[in-house]
Amino acid sequence: MAHGYGGFGGGMNMNALMQQAKKMQEQMMKAQEELDSAEVVGKAGGDMVTVTMNGKKELKSIKLSKTAVDPDDVEMLEDLIVAAYNDAFKKAEDLYKDKMGPMGNLGGLM
């Protein structure tokens, strides 16, 4: 017969469970803060296009060298921007996975 423990049985201490949840939440908050302040840089065409993002994959800046801006070849510049963005995004994604680890799978649950 269960004694009102909501199915936790097996000697699971509710206080220990709550402490563990609190610790995980604190770790997640710290990782989120680190991701917010982190910067990753993606480049394309050498240093012709540079894209900077934070660890949350938010675009912070795009820098273009004068040599990247050719009015007769706007398509090349567009391609370079996409390539630099994708490079930065991959780095931000890797950083996110590194910082959040298994907590990243929890999404916005906490």
Residues forming beta bridges with residue 61, ordered by sequence position: 52
H/E run at residue 14: helix 14-37
Averaged pLDDT for residues 32-43: 91
pTM of the model: 0.69
Residue 55 or 51, more confident: 51
| Phi, then psi, of 52 in degrees rounded to 5 | -115, 135
Query: Domain 14-101: which CATH class?
Result: alpha beta
Closest CA to 45 of 73, 18, 6, 17: 73
State what percent of residues in the chain have pLDDT above 90: 47
